Structure 1
Amino acid sequence: MLDELFPFKIAIDATAIAGTSLWSLALYLGFSPVSDWLMEQMSRWFNFAERALYTSSEEYERTRRGREAQNSFYASIFSIIPFLAVGAFCNYLVEIGLDRSWAISIGLLACVGGGVYELGRRDGQS
């Protein structure tokens, strides 16, 4: 399908996509306080930037709850991007260091480790 749209060949490496996704999930779970902080800051910034678009304070207050919920959703989606970038870098380092065949295996081990760490961290908080 992509070959019909573009006049050049686009090579999509499934191993790199899977490894990057696993590493980014592991980092997202392992650094969940950082991801929560990042979501909060992005949500604050989106709310601040959107406030500048309104000239009427009545209109702003009338639609405030819906816009804040929408901005929280966008912040949660966009907070994944830094973890994808760092996950791609970690996957690249594993591919260089060990081999392509180990990239997904180590990414899966990192995911399990990050999940166990997050469960232990939440259990320790309560």
Structure 2
Amino acid sequence: MIRDIFPFFFPFDKIAIAGCCLWSLALYIVLSGLKDWITEQFSRWLNFADRSFYTSVEEFEETRDTRESQNAFYASVMSIVPFFLLGFLSNWGIDVSLGSSWSISLGIMTCIGAGVYALGRQGG
């Protein structure tokens, strides 16, 4: 169906995409302090960039709460990107050294371990 819409085709390695996503999820769960810091930095940057769109201080202050909430949402979504890049590098490193089946297997085990670690950190 997609080939009918687009006259070109990009081959995707489904195993590499799955491995990158698994490693990204594991790193996102384990490195929650880094995740919070990245989200805060993106939020600060978006709030700073948003200020340049307003000419009057009154209009800026009138919509401040709404814009800050929206920027916090965008920052949270954008904070996934660095972890996806780290997940790509982790998956690639294991794929090169051990093979693609190991990268998926270790990604699954790391996700399980990260979940247990996150639950233990909350309970402590």
SS at structure 1 position matched to 2:8: coil
Partner of 1:22: 22
Partner of 2:60: 60
CA distance in 2, matches of 1:123, 1:39: 24
Q: Give the stretch that moved more between structures: 69-78 or 50-59.
A: 50-59
CA distance in 2, matches of 1:96, 1:8: 29
Q: Give the stretch that moved more between structures: 21-30 or 88-97.
A: 88-97
Q: Contact 1:16 / 1:91 at 8 angstroms: preserved in 2?
A: yes
Partner of 2:96: 96
Give the partner amino acid of 1:26: A
Unaligned stretches of 5+ residues in structure 1: none
Query: Does residue 36 of structure 1 match 2:65?
Result: no
CA distance in 2, matches of 1:52, 1:113: 44
Moved >6 Å (runs of 4+)? none
Cα shift readout 1:19-40 (whole Å, capped 9, x = no counterpart): 1000000000110110011101
Query: Does residue 119 of structure 1 match 2:124?
Result: no
Q: What TM-score, normalized to structure 2?
A: 0.92
CA distance in 2, matches of 1:51, 1:58: 12
Cα shift readout 1:31-68 (whole Å, capped 9, x = no counterpart): 01100111011101111110121111111111111111
CA RMSD of aligned residues (A): 1.3
Partner of 1:50: 50
Identity %: 52
Unaligned stretches of 5+ residues in structure 2: none
Cα shift readout 1:66-86 (whole Å, capped 9, x = no counterpart): 111110000000000000001
Partner of 1:86: 86
CA distance in 1, matches of 2:10, 2:25: 25
Partner of 1:77: 77
Give the partner amino acid of 1:23: W
CA distance in 2, matches of 1:43, 1:9: 36
Q: What TM-score, normalized to structure 1?
A: 0.91
Partner of 1:13: 13
SS at structure 2 position matched to 1:25: helix
Count of residue pairs brought into register by the alignment:
124
TM-superposed CA distance for 1:5, in Å, is 4.0
